């Protein structure tokens, strides 16, 4: 009985680890309208404001985006539905 439980937990743990590989990817263009610690707010061309998390695996081409910078954000959605940035490119002011 105990071996079945351990085996079941192991299988569930392996399934849980594969979920991030199935993350939804996307690209967003817009202007930075807010920053707070490692989070930036980007107002898209459609007028919608999106929040992006700049984690330790984020690749920045030059520097961290400032207010008013036009940016291209490549991101994935994590298991909790948050936008985790993988690459941030500054397109201009």
Q: How confident is the model at residue 33 (pLDDT cuts 50, 70, 90)?
A: very high
Q: What is the pLDDT of residues 39-80, one digit of tens each?
A: 889 998 888 998 888 876 777 777 888 888 899 888 887 666
Domains and CATH numbers, the chain: 25-92 (2.40.50.320)
Contacts of 56 (CB under 8 A, 6+ apart): none
Q: Do 70 and 31 touch, CB atoms closer than 8 A? A: yes
Q: Do 53 and 85 touch, CB atoms closer than 8 A? A: yes
Q: What is the pLDDT of residues 1-27, one digit of tens each?
A: 788 888 888 888 777 766 555 556 788
Q: How confident is the model at residue 92 (pLDDT cuts 50, 70, 90)?
A: confident
pLDDT of residue 70: 92
**Positive or negative: CA dihedral 6, 9, 13, 14:** positive
Closest CA to 40 of 8, 68, 76, 3: 68
């Amino acid at each position: 009985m105990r071996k079945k439980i351990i085996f079941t937990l192991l299988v569930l743990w392996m399934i849980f680890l594969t979920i991030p590989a199935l993350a939804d990817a996307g690209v967003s263009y817009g202007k930075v309208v807010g920053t707070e610690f490692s989070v930036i707010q980007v107002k898209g061309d459609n007028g919608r404001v999106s929040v992006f998390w700049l984690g330790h695996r984020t690749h920045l081409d030059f520097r961290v985006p400032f207010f008013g910078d036009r940016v291209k954000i490549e991101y994935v959605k994590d298991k909790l539905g948050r936008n985790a940035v993988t690459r941030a490119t500054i397109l201009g002011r």
